[in-house]
Structure 1
């Protein structure tokens, strides 16, 4: 049974926009009800730069998703690029009057940590993620619910985003007749969809190599220790090829998709074949003419750009000391991971740190294949809203993130109660029947009394 708790998730990427309508059933399975995709317009390097163009792209994807699902939804869970975000620390302490910690106590101590933090005036809070809790003077813990004590304290990481960026997203959604229900950092969504529990426990860096941007987060336990953003992606490789060979962008993109590889030749015979094999590229400005290039000229261009990107990330992780918190390794995801040899190159840069390419958790459905790295963000949005895992954190509305499986069961019980409760018209009918029965009983009683008098006479 699919219950009426459908959500709309929208991943606003720089190259594509994807919208998905989904819901939990009573067994806590995520059901995909509708999918829509569109080419992203008005978005540049993670930022909305044209409200109307972005709004039209969002509307196209959302309309397809809603029409295919038959749903009417007016609010959406929306991904937020790591551009224009900042992370800061906070601490809070509250007393426990009842002696046993409730969800409300956890919410209050998280809000106290938020209150104590120095939020920059033109920034807005997106996530309040606990690093640890402590009850009285005990050890640090991750789940204080139902524990006994007189005081609870928390240390948190607070992710904030520039207000102007959020306003632009909200205005773009208004163009599609939608409101933002909540924002989710895209890097956090990537971590939710790709990391295993052991990787979270040990600490891992998730690097999403996208079309024009690269998102980096380090997650340890239930918190994001580090969050960064680079305005570099696979389209920069396309641009490098276009500039190097003076060929149109479309031709450079075709070459990248068909022949891009970072893998070295295995033997001299293959190397000679690579040197000999040539492709024709049209000349920019005079596309009726073309020139030949050998495929071995492509690899150095790819290698230089991707190596530069990964080295920048490595330096940033070292500079921030976040690299000391990734015993779980490096996880690569996003569209650029399709390039053969990228894992091997990353392993050479992140020495002595395990590197893997990860697909997001695959949600079985009849609409779309989620088992690809480019789907990491949208799957993370769905899991953030619909997964049963209960993380004690505040969302972008400063509300405690709810366990959706409990919400689903509550909705089910309310629905069952509503179905079994008689309507007002039914109650009126019952009252009328009772009145008739009373009148009949009175009539029968009088008739019986007169019969007895007649018999006596």
Structure 2
């Protein structure tokens, strides 16, 4: 961490004292809560909104092993009127808020902070990685229509569902690209290191997308010579695991009650989403339109961090900008400012990554 930051400082000509970090894993959980406050002046003020959110937060009982990560308003209600996104200035006597509370394991958060602190940096905020990724790859229209963002990582698959412009549900599924790598290693009798290389270079999620006579070299373990196998054989190893991933996503969408509410379909991102044929596999298993999400929102990124595997990193930058006093909009003055910094960092990023 320290080396990466030092090189980034040198190339970007800025001093870095504090950072935003991402967090993910099977320890993440989310619950709904509601808070109600009386309006003292019969008109909603910013202080009233903060009090309502705090009331909702206090209603959720967190154990000593849980750390609060986010309290995300889903909708507000003023008296008998519901479905309100921004109640500021509205008249009424009672303000209620429905929130999504996201927590993580205290130990996981502490380990992240310790690691960063040992590099001489302070942690400004710990951000749920699917939330960060969503800032980088989803459009506002998709959030309004209803969309499931599926972040396909190495060890887990993170799901975030947005409806009517707000996040409604999050889940972490215990399956990811590492499972595919292990399957390749076992199925093709090679090491996991070589299996990962094969997955990246030759992997494909659909058997019916393989062209005739496509082959690849598979290094054997030990002193045995490499073997030539068909790409179809590789696809036959990969496809069942990919189908299992999206079947778990489908089950979670149904279990959470959002089947039939995702008008914008599915956006897949993360390193595993770069596997050839993944959008097609998602569409087939989920019966929804699917696209591969690439980062947007910061100038100068397309040629250095314009792939799904960079979604979380770019999303953390946008999250930091959105929550900075200097930030107006991601695409405005500060978006260009961050873009210029990335322009100076281009050489470093290309070399480092």
TM-score normalised by the shorter chain: which range applies?
0.7 to 0.9
d(CA) in 1 for partners of 2:326, 2:90: 22
1:319 corresponds in structure 2 to: 255
1:281 aligns to 2:202 (yes or no): no
Q: Which residue of 2 aligns with 1:151?
A: 94
Structure 1 residues 184 and 325 mapped into 2: Cα distance closer, same or farther (>3 Å)?
Answer: farther
Task: Count residues in correspondence.
Answer: 331
Tell me, yes or no, if the aligned pair for 2:150 and 2:269 is still in contact at 8 Å.
yes
CA distance in 1: counterparts of 2:151 and 2:123, whole angstroms: 24
Q: Structure 1: which 5+ residue stretches go unaligned?
A: 1-57, 388-400, 413-457
Structure 1 contact 209–335 (Cα < 8 Å) conserved: yes
Larger radius of gyration: 1
Alpha-carbon distance, 1:403 to partner: 6.4
Does residue 378 in structure 1 map to residue 313 in structure 2?
yes
Q: Secondary structure, in 3 states, of the residue corresponding to 1:256?
A: helix
CA deviations 1:126-155 (Å, max 9, x no partner) are: 111111111233333000122233332111
Q: Is the Cα contact below 8 Å between 1:225 and 1:322 reproduced in 2?
A: no
* Alpha-carbon distance between aligned partners in 2 of 1:263 and 1:181, rounded to the nearest angstrom: 42
* Alpha-carbon distance in 2 for matches of 1:155, 1:69: 41
Shift of 1:373: 1.0
1:224-278: CA deviation from partner (whole Å, max 9, x where unpaired)? 32212234322332222222222233332332222222355679xx52x23xx4x
Choose which of 114, 121, 125 in structure 1 pairs with 2:57: 114
Which residue matches 1:308?
Answer: 244
Deviation string 1:157-213 (CA, Å, 9 cap, x unpaired) is 111111111111111111211221111110111222211112111221100112333
How far apart are the structure 1 equivalents of 2:9 and 2:95? Answer: 44
| Structure-2 residue corresponding to 1:405 | 327
Residue number in structure 2 paired with 1:292: 228
Task: Quote the Cα distance in structure 1 between the aligned partners of 2:245 and 2:301.
Answer: 36
Instruction: Tell me the residue number matched to 1:426.
Output: none
CA distance in 1 between partners of 2:277 and 2:302 (Å): 30
SS in 1 for 2:267: strand
Match of residue 60 from structure 1: 3
Partner-residue secondary structure (3-state), 2:263: coil
- Alignment match of 1:90 (pick from 33, 54, 63): 33
TM-score (norm 1): 0.67
Partners of 1:356 and 1:371 in 2: CA distance:
15
1:188-337 aligned at under 5 Å gives the runs 188-264=131-207, 270-271=211-212, 273-274=213-214, 277=215, 279-286=216-223, 289-337=225-273
Moved over 4 A (4+): 263-267, 401-404
Question: Which residue in the other structure is 1:358 paired with?
Answer: 293
**Residues 204, 219 of structure 1: 8 Å contact kept:** yes
Partner of 2:340: none
Q: Secondary structure at the match of 1:145?
A: coil
Equivalent residues of 2:207, 2:236 under 8 A apart: no
Aligned partners of 1:266, 1:360: CA distance in 2, in Å?
26
Deviations 1:84-127 (A, max 9, x none): 11111111122232333222221111111111222233212111
Give 1:11-50 correspondences, 5 Å limit. none
- Would you say the 8 A contact 1:157–1:223 is kept in 2? no
Indicate the SS of the match to 2:22.
Answer: strand
Task: Classify 1:222/1:73 alpha carbon distance in 2 versus 1 (closer, same or farther; 3 Å).
Answer: farther
Q: Is the 8 A contact 1:202 1:327 kept in 2?
A: yes
TM-score, normalised with respect to structure 2: 0.85
Shift of the 98–73 alpha-carbon distance from structure 1 to 2, 3 Å rule, reads farther
Matched residue of 1:219: which SS? strand
Q: How many Å separate the matches in 2 of 1:366 and 1:161? A: 30
Give secondary structure in 2 for the equivalent of 1:317: helix
Q: 1:249 to 1:223 in 2, by over 3 A?
A: same
